[in-house]
């Protein structure tokens, strides 16, 4: 399929599923923070968190479609997301600075795992997956820039 070996399809599908699951955990945190942020920076953070989880949600479809292109079946249940994610759920921090720190840490982890996934896809000559993850990573790097700029 797509000129790729079956082991490549299996490996890259598993990598994409872990990234997709982690994205959903991250987007859920962003949505939770969007709902619960308080204080003098409320409006700015409320809007920023909303923009960020909407951008991630828009990207999720492309990831799921790539899993299908690789002859996989993206798992879209909350149980699968929690099982396959390398990010953890956690209680909502009490203030905006803690929320930002949490999102910086998780987004750094996403970018780190994406770099690993890009290297694996390149080794497997799966350039479509490599390109998709590279574009996706650019979204996270931009979000990290916004988050880091917000906290000084």
Q: If the chain, 152 residues long, is cut into consecutive pieces of 10 residues, what is the mean pLDDT of each piece?
A: 72 92 94 93 94 90 92 93 91 86 95 96 92 94 94 68
Contact 1, 70 (CB under 8 A): yes
Domains of the chain and any CATH numbers: 6-82+92-150 (1.20.1260.10)
Radius of gyration of the chain (CA): 16
pLDDT in the model for residue 11: 87
**What is the pTM assigned to this prediction?**
0.91
pLDDT in the model for residue 10: 83
pLDDT in the model for residue 4: 64
pLDDT in the model for residue 9: 75
The three-state DSSP-derived secondary structure of the chain is: CCCCCHHHHHHHHHHHHHHHHHHHHHHHHHHHHHHHCCCCCHHHHHHHHHHHHHHHHHHHHHHHHHHHHCCCCCCCCHHHHHHHCCCCCCCCCCCHHHHHHHHHHHHHHHHHHHHHHHHHHHHCCCHHHHHHHHHHHHHHHHHHHHHHHHCC
């Amino acid at each position: 399929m797509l000129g790729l070996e079956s082991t490549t399809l299996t490996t890259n599908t598993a990598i994409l599923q872990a990234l997709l699951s982690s994205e959903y955990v991250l987007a859920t945190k962003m949505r939770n923070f969007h709902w619960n942020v308080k204080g003098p920076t409320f409006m700015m953070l409320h809007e920023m968190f909303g923009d960020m989880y909407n951008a991630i949600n828009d990207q999720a479809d492309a990831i799921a479609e790539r899993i299908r292109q690789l002859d996989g079946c993206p798992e879209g249940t909350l149980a699968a997301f929690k099982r396959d994610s390398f990010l953890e759920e956690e209680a909502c921090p009490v203030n905006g600075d803690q929320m930002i720190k949490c999102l910086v840490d998780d987004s750094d982890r996403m970018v780190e795992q994406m770099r690993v996934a890009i290297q694996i896809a390149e080794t497997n000559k799966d350039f479509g997956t490599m390109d998709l993850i590279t574009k996706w990573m650019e979204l996270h790097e931009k979000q990290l820039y916004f988050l880091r700029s917000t906290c000084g």
